[in-house]
């Protein structure tokens, strides 16, 4: 059975939706599933981790073994899993996490300004990758 990862994101953010679509398009191995933090799965995740239920500014990646990456670590892990040139993102690990996460937080704070007004709807096949 193929190992799958769950990417949790702000489902009401155009910038976040753009990147979810980008991951879907580049996920040639079909290993990613997606859930918005506002949905049942996302809210249960936040509750289980005792995280604020109304704060959606962090990207989380749940690994098959249950470990969770967040913020810049999640982005780097996603890129490394996509393979190809994206694997080079692992080089950012040489930058201290606190610095990477400061940059991540700056982007997250301004993500709604960075979003284009519209994002494409997922295809029927892509919708199967979303968890309620």
Coil, strand or helix at 22? helix
Phi, psi for residue 28 in degrees, rounded to 5 = -70, -20
Q: What average pLDDT does the structure give for the chain?
A: 90
Q: Range with the lowest mean pLDDT among 18-22, 26-30, 108-112?
A: 108-112
Reported as a single tens digit per residue, the pLDDT across 37-85 is 999 999 999 999 999 999 899 999 999 999 999 999 999 999 999 999 9
pTM of the model as a whole: 0.86
**Beta carbons within 10 angstroms of residue 19's beta carbon:** 18
What is the helix (H) or strand (E) element at residue 101, kind and residue range? helix 97-109
pLDDT score of 14: 81
């Amino acid at each position: 059975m193929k190992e799958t990862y769950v990417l949790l994101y702000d489902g009401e953010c155009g910038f976040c939706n753009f990147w979810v679509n980008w991951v879907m398009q580049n996920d040639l191995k079909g290993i990613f599933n997606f859930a918005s933090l506002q949905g049942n799965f996302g809210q249960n995740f936040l509750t289980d981790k005792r995280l604020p239920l109304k704060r959606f500014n962090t990207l989380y990646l749940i690994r098959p073994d249950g470990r969770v990456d967040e913020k810049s670590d999640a982005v780097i892990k996603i890129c490394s899993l996509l393979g190809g040139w994206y694997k080079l993102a692992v080089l950012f690990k040489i930058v201290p996490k606190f610095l990477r996460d400061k940059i991540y937080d700056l982007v997250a704070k301004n993500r709604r300004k960075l979003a284009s007004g519209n994002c494409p709807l997922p295809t029927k096949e892509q919708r199967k990758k979303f968890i309620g």
